[in-house]
Amino acid sequence: MKIYVGNLSYNTSEACLNQAFEAHGPVQSANLPMDRDTGRPRGFGFIEMGDDDARKAIEALNGTELDGRQITVNEARPRENRSGSFGGGGGGNRGGGGRRW
């Protein structure tokens, strides 16, 4: 099961996240997405564990403190499809009628 961990400190490392969850069962992977511009963690992460261990970890860790922040822990939901949200490329001023300088 993939677990979402939110409200993480920017100082939290994958190793720290892994250690917090290992107390509840074997961790298959820990991932902290990084911001492209700053290179810092984005303040959330994902853990993968077996289903039973994941449920125990969610129950035990949701609302607890990690690196000085109260974290949110729940089952990760699939990413929403964002491709159709803006239509076909925006309006813009295509052809006639616009100001010409």
Q: How many CB atoms lie within 10 A of CB 93?
A: 8
CATH-assigned architecture of domain 2-44+57-75 = 2-Layer Sandwich (3.30)
Residue extents of the structural domains in the chain: 2-44+57-75
Return the pLDDT at 101: 46
Rounded to whole angstroms, the Cα distance separating 47 from 27 reads 7
Cβ pair 7, 71 in contact under 8 A: yes
pLDDT digits (tens, 9 = 90+) for 38-50: 999 999 999 999 9
Among 6, 18, 82, 84, CA closest to 48: 18
3-state secondary structure at position 14: helix
pLDDT for the residue numbered 95 = 54
Least confident window among 29-33, 37-41, 93-97: 93-97
Q: Report the distance separating Cα 86 and Cα 2, nearest Å.
A: 29
∠ CA 55-57-30 to the nearest 5 degrees?
105
